[in-house]
Structure 1
Amino acid sequence: MGHSQADKARSRERILNEAATQIRDKGLDALSIGGLMQQVKLTHGGFYGHFASRSDLIAAALELALHAGEASAHAARDPDKPGNISTLVRSYLSRAHRDSPKSGCAIGALISDVGRADAQCRAVMEPHIESFIAKVAETFGDDDDGNAILAVSAMVGALAISRVLTDQKRSDAVLRTVRDSIIAMASDE
């Protein structure tokens, strides 16, 4: 790879990293190409040397954000302890996770935005949702993924609702109620 190709690859990586951070923090619609390029100290016109369109950038940044969220969750797990539903749910439905959409699960942070986005973005997120369901089903020890679908839907929904509520006690109650219900459901298995 020539010098200019290496520079271009580094610039693209900077753009993607900043875009992924911005969309996790503020959502898909808040991403401004001009503001993004200014943030990474590149020209607005230079954007099109890296991406064909804003949609292509958002899809690529979304993929990066989803992988980063998964990597963060994986790094937080104790490799010496077997995964169990209680640990997973307590971590996902925690105050720390609620209060850090920039570094937490990108599904939880962006589910509503992606639901309204174009087919390209929905296609990017879909396999990550399926993977999350499969992981929860495996943790449940569930051959039928019905409980995992219910648990993932409840966790993502509770996380989103808890981030909207301005009353912290009420927000905590949403997290606690769903967390306790999923753990109880798992112990009934």
Structure 2
Amino acid sequence: MKELPLFPLHAVLFPGGELRLRVFEPRYLSMVRDCTAGNRVFGVCQIADGHEVGVPATPASFGTTAQIVDFNVDPQGILGIVVEGVQRFHVKQVRIRDTGMVVADVDLFEDEPSTLRAEHSLLASLLDKILEQAGGKHAKAPARLFDSACWVGYRLAELLPLDNDQRQGLLQCACPHQRLSMLLQWVPKLTRE
């Protein structure tokens, strides 16, 4: 069990994924300072109830640890950070500090290396085509990653036009093959829309 500061958002972050965030509330500025100084991670969770700004939101029960990989200040003086997802976690207990910062005791999960199964090979091909068109961080990924059930599932969960509840369900799914099977069921519906 580990204690993490949480950044509840109307977004779902996956391991290996990337998010760009604007940070302006004092509680999050303090969190960014502490994480940067100590080279520590924080947790990103989808908001189960509430809003991103103001009163602390209720986080979903699963999230992903986030490592700050870059930062900048925009012309209005607002801090921007780029975070990369590291590891899935399950929230066990949530507390709100007097600063309004949400912290949680979490169990961290290690993804087991798992090779893509033949019935999911179509998804690896689809991902390759999407990345070829979309570009971005994973556009020139080595071929070996397309054999990883976890990596293919996470990237498709980020890139396909899913709603955040669908993404949250995929994040919570412990088995990478089950995650891919869910995606395989949704792909025909997504391509028709």
TM-score tier, shorter chain, comes to: under 0.3
TM-score when scaled to structure 2?
0.27
Question: Where is the strand percentage greater, Structure 1 or Structure 2?
Answer: 2
Q: Larger radius of gyration, structure 1 or 2?
A: 1
TM-score when scaled to structure 1?
0.27
